[in-house]
C-alpha cells in the first residue's frame, strides 16, 4: 500500500528547516544552505544533476533511500517557487530548469489555480487548491501503488504531521544552530500525535533520524 514519506529533510540542531528572509536569491533563507552540506557531495545528489563521481557510504545510502519506490511527490508552493498570491503568468516553472529531478507527477499545494505543467524527463506539476488531503489522494492515485514523497517545506510538513498523515520521516540533523527561521517542531507534540524516533545513525556531517508513526 502506498505510504507518505519525508526523506532527506535537513534540520538544524534547534529544529529549523529553513533560515529567515527567504528570497529568489536565497530560497532556503539565510544560512539554510548550510543544512544541506551532507548531501551535496554524495553520488546520489550528483547523479540527479547529471554529474559523475561523488561520495558513497552512509550519507549516500540515506540519500538513495529517498528515491526508492517513489511514484509521486507533494510540495508546498514555496518549494515550487517564490511567487506569492495569484499567478501573474505561467513564466515561472520551478527552480530546476527544463528537466526537474522528480521524473514523476508532482502535486503542488496552492490557493490559486493553474494548469498542469509538463516538463522534460516525465515531471508533471499539478497545482492543487483544495487542501492537503486532496493532494495526498491525487498523489497516491498517480503513484499507482508506489509511495509518495513529501518534499516540504516546513509549513507543509507541519500540516501533514498535525493530520497524522505522514507514515515516516527521515530527518538529517546538521551539527549547527540557525537561531531563527522556520521551525519544524514549534507547538507540535509529536508523542501525542503518535510519532517516535525508531532509528539514529551519525556520520561526521550529520545525524540521520527516522521518525515513524506508531500504531494506536
Q: Which domains does the chain carry? A: 4-17+31-83+98-213 (3.40.430.10)
At 28 the pLDDT is 81
The C-alpha cell of 136 is what?
495526498
What is the rounded distance in angstroms from the CA atom of residue 17 to the CA atom of residue 204?
Answer: 20
The C-alpha cell of 151 is what?
518534499
- The DSSP string of 58-83 is HHHHHHHHTTTTEEEEEEEHHHH-S-
What is the rounded distance in angstroms from the CA atom of residue 137 to the CA atom of residue 146?
Answer: 13
What is the rounded distance in angstroms from the CA atom of residue 182 to the CA atom of residue 192?
Answer: 22
Give the pairing of strands 147-152 and 70-76.
Answer: parallel
pTM for this prediction: 0.94
Q: What is the largest CA-CA distance in the chain?
A: 46
Phi, psi at residue 183, to the nearest 5°? Answer: -95, 125
Q: Which residue from 174, 168, 195, 177 is spatially nearest to 59, judged by alpha carbons?
A: 174
CB environment 117-142: b (16+ within 10 A), e (fewer): bebeeebbbbbbeeebeebbebbbeb
Q: Which residue from 59, 11, 29 is spatially nearest to 158, judged by alpha carbons?
A: 11
pLDDT by residue, tens only, the chain of 216 residues = 899 999 999 999 999 999 888 777 778 888 888 999 999 999 998 988 778 899 999 999 999 999 999 999 999 998 998 888 999 998 999 888 899 999 999 999 999 999 999 999 999 999 999 999 999 999 999 999 999 999 989 999 999 999 999 999 999 999 999 999 999 999 999 999 999 999 999 999 999 999 999 987
Amino acid at each position: 500500500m502506498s505510504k507518505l514519506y519525508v526523506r532527506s529533510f535537513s534540520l538544524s540542531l534547534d529544529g529549523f528547516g529553513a533560515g529567515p528572509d527567504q528570497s529568489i536569491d536565497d530560497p532556503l533563507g539565510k544560512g539554510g544552505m548550510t543544512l544541506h552540506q551532507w548531501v551535496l557531495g554524495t553520488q546520489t545528489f550528483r547523479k540527479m544533476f547529471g554529474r559523475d563521481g561523488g561520495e558513497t557510504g552512509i550519507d549516500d545510502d540515506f540519500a538513495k533511500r529517498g528515491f526508492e519506490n517513489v511514484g509521486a511527490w507533494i510540495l508546498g508552493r514555496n518549494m515550487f517557487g517564490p511567487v506569492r498570491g495569484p499567478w501573474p503568468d505561467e513564466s515561472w516553472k520551478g527552480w530546476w530548469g527544463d528537466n526537474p529531478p522528480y521524473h514523476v507527477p508532482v502535486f503542488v499545494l496552492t490557493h490559486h489555480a493553474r494548469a498542469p505543467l509538463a516538463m522534460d524527463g516525465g515531471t508533471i506539476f499539478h497545482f492543487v487548491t483544495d487542501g492537503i488531503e486532496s493532494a495526498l489522494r491525487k498523489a497516491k492515485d498517480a503513484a499507482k501503488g508506489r509511495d509518495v514523497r513529501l518534499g516540504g517545506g516546513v509549513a507543509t510538513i507541519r500540516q501533514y504531521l498535525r493530520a497524522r498523515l505522514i507514515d515516516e520521516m527521515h530527518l538529517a540533523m546538521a551539527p549547527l544552530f540557525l537561531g531563527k527561521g522556520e521551525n519544524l517542531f514549534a507547538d507540535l507534540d509529536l508523542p501525542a500525535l503518535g510519532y517516535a524516533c525508531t532509528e539514529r545513525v551519525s556520520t561526521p556531517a550529520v545525524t540521520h533520524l527516522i521518525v515513524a508513526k506508531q500504531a494506536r
